[in-house]
């Protein structure tokens, strides 16, 4: 807090495409997509037009006992877009709206809890399993599911217990199964999926003790706030099959990964692995980064557990004043249409290839330990030396210093500890992307020296 008070913040007043301007007219590139929310660029005319047009009709109406056109249409479109090449015979069928990622998770958590109470074993309280390093938001339920001590430990007394399994953090694999480092082929041995075995053990033990898990909660394909940690291909589908075979629900937190951010052509990252969750939380990019809105998608099986006659009081007792906000839904519909257009899909695929091309040159720096990209998310992990992988202490602010250097060069992004994030809006041009990576490279060299491997 003192650091924040010591500095004058950059006051952002305008945006267009991947660019932002401050109150002194200085131009920046938004290399963090405004905290992972922006998809198609700032002030996109289609989205702005949709919000304006809805504003001319009505800005908000209650969803308690009423419906509104944009929200109902958007729900149908989300369900259609979430229909993946699922090989598991499941289908998401219903949408519950809320306001942000944390509330979308809170909704999923309460649905899973109540579903388990109504349909599962009667002994004990429903229990949850999630992934070490996982981050699911800052409300109490979401914090309980998370496993980042720095953010979560202080609130321990307020939380319920969620068990954790190891993350498949290949770069720091405790079994030394990391994919071979291009700079040293001796690193890494053949992966035998020990991390998946650990999930299997955890699920089996819980079941044999008569206290099976109600749900497994996971950020699919890549963990965000843990430090941009990708899951190797096949991890999610293997884990999903195990979770199912133990009778637990699969809850995917697609708050960061959804809407194409973690790649693939669908709106859910899990679609890329042929996995359909029982509950999926979407937020951040849902309105293209314009208005706060979120959605929790559920299968018909989960929905049906809440059906009953009035006197049974089986309804889902949960809601927010701005649930199903028509302005947000109008923005969401416009954003989804852009996302699903063929030109949009091709542009995203092109941008992903360009990110690899641009980031390639950072491998020559000895303080760059790992470069990870999934879809249109990349993380560059800074280390003391690439050979030893020893991390910088948090107090050294390695990532923060690199980001400050990038801001000086007109590129805004944010680090997660030692991991510098590159998450460009989908409209970022080749030249803009090159400027983002130039700024990162120059800033790394400025902070840690200009040596090369
Ligand atoms: C995976 C994930 N889930 C949930 C959240 C919480 O979202 P919000 O900040 O919109 O509450 C975040 C935010 O970064 C996230 O990355």
Q: Of all protein residues, whose CA lies closest to atom 10 belonging to ligand 1?
A: 101
Q: How many C-beta atoms surround the C-beta of residue 179 within 10 A?
A: 12
Closest CA to 422 of 413, 431, 411, 430: 413
pLDDT for the residue 190: 76
Contact 129, 351 (CB under 8 A): no
C-beta of 136 in contact with ligand 1 (< 6 A): yes
Structure confidence by residue, pLDDT tens digits, 40-81: 999 999 999 999 999 999 999 999 999 999 999 999 999 999
- Fold of the 2-30+345-448 domain: 3.90.1150
pLDDT for the residue 71: 98
Q: β-pairing, 377-382 with 419-422? A: antiparallel
Buried b (16+ CB within 10 A) or exposed e, 407-440: bebebbbbbbbbbbbbbbbbbbeeebbebbbebb
Helices H / strands E in the chain, number of each:
14, 17
CA 127 to CA 53: how far, in whole Å? 45
Specify the range with the lowest mean pLDDT, choosing from 47-51, 103-107, 120-124, 427-431.
120-124
Q: What percent of the chain has pLDDT over 70?
A: 96
180 pLDDT band, cuts 50/70/90, is low
The answer on pLDDT for 186 being more than 70 is no
Cα dist. 27→30, 267, 408, 432 in Å? 10, 31, 11, 12
The residue behind tokens 């429903």 is: 126
C-beta of 114 in contact with ligand 1 (< 6 A): no
98 - beta bridge partners?
294
CA of 59 to the centre of ligand 1 (A): 25
pLDDT for the residue 450: 82
CA 205 to CA 194: how far, in whole Å? 16
pLDDT for the residue 88: 66
Number of the ligand 1 atom closest to the C-alpha atom of 254: 1
Mutate to test the pocket of ligand 1, among 137, 374, 423 (most ligand atoms within 8 A of CB): 137
Q: Residue range 250-267: average pLDDT?
A: 96
CA of 138 to the centre of ligand 1 (A): 8
C-beta of 254 in contact with ligand 1 (< 6 A): no
- Fold of the 53-340 domain: 3.40.640
Q: Residue range 83-111: average pLDDT?
A: 90
191 pLDDT band, cuts 50/70/90, is confident
For the chain, give every domain's residue range.
2-30+345-448, 53-340
């Amino acid at each position: 807090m003192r650091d924040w008070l010591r500095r004058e913040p950059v006051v952002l007043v305008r945006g267009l495409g991947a660019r932002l301007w401050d109150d002194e007219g200085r131009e920046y590139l938004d290399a963090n997509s405004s905290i992972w929310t922006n998809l198609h660029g700032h002030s996109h005319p289609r989205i702005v037009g949709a919000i304006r047009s809805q504003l001319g009709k009505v800005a908000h109406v209650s969803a308690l006992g009423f419906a509104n056109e944009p929200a109902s249409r958007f729900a149908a479109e989300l369900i259609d877009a979430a229909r993946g090449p699922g090989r598991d015979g499941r289908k998401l069928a219903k949408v519950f709206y809320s306001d942000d990622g944390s509330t979308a998770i809170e909704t999923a958590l309460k649905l899973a809890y109540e579903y388990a109470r109504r349909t599962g074993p009667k002994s004990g309280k429903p229990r949850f399993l999630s992934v070490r390093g996982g981050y699911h938001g800052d409300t109490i339920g979401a914090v309980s599911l998370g496993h980042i001590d720095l953010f979560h430990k202080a609130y321990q007394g307020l939380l319920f217990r969620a068990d954790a399994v190891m993350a498949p953090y290949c770069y720091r694999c405790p079994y030394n199964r990391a994919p071979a480092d291009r700079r040293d082929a001796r690193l890494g041995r053949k992966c035998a999926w020990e991390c998946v075995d650990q999930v299997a053990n955890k699920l089996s033990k819980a079941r044999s003790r008569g206290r099976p898990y109600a749900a497994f909660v996971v950020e699919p394909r890549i963990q965000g706030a843990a430090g941009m940690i990708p899951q190797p291909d096949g991890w999610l589908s293997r884990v999903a099959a195990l979770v199912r075979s133990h009778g637990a629900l699969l809850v995917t937190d697609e708050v960061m990964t959804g809407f194409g951010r973690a790649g693939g052509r669908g709106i859910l990252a899990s679609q890329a692995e042929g996995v359909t969750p029982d509950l999926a939380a979407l937020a951040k990019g849902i309105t293209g980064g314009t208005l706060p809105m979120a959605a929790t998608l559920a299968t018909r099986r989960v929905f049906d557990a809440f059906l009953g006659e009035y006197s049974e009081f089986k309804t889902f007792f949960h809601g927010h004043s701005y649930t199903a906000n028509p302005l947000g839904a109008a923005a969401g519909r416009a954003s989804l249409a852009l996302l699903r257009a063929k030109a949009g899909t091709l542009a995203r695929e092109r941008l992903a290839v360009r990110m690899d091309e641009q980031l390639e040159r950072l491998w020559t720096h000895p303080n760059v330990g790992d470069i990870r990209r999934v879809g249109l998310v990349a993380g560059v992990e800074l280390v003391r030396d690439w050979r030893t992988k020893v991390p910088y202490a948090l107090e050294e602010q390695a990532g923060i210093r690199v980001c400050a250097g990038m801001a000086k060069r007109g590129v805004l992004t944010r680090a997660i500890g030692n991991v510098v994030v590159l998450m460009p809006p989908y409209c970022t041009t080749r030249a803009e992307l090159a400027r983002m990576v130039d700024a990162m490279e120059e800033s790394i060299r400025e902070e840690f020296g200009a040596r090369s491997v």
